[in-house]
Amino acid sequence: HSTRLAMLSNNLTHWKKLPLLPSLTNQPHQVLASDPVPFADLQQVSRIAAYAFSALSQIRVDAKEELVVQFGIP
């Protein structure tokens, strides 16, 4: 069965390998060994994101004109 599956999988052209995750650093061991982000910084980022979400959710568009214009076809 494994031989047959290998033969079939080699013939599949629509299956593509997913790209690797992007590398954000060439030295991940240094990033992992560094001090963790202070909790106050995480709270500040969360608070700013909440403010931004609140501001974006309160944006309203008051359309005074038609957004779609009807064109006559001769």
* Distance, C-alpha 65 to centroid of its chain: 34
For the chain, give the percent of residues with pLDDT over 70.
73
Rounded to whole angstroms, how far apart are CA atoms 1 and 5? 6
Direct distance between the N- and C-terminal alpha carbons of the chain, in angstroms, rounded to an integer: 65
For 8, what's the count of Cα atoms within 13 Å in the CB-facing half-sphere?
5
pTM: 0.45
Give me the chain's average pLDDT, please: 80
pLDDT higher than threshold 70 for residue 11: no
Give per-residue pLDDT as tens, 32-67. 888 999 999 999 999 999 999 999 999 987 877 776
Rounded to whole angstroms, how far apart are CA atoms 50 and 44? 10
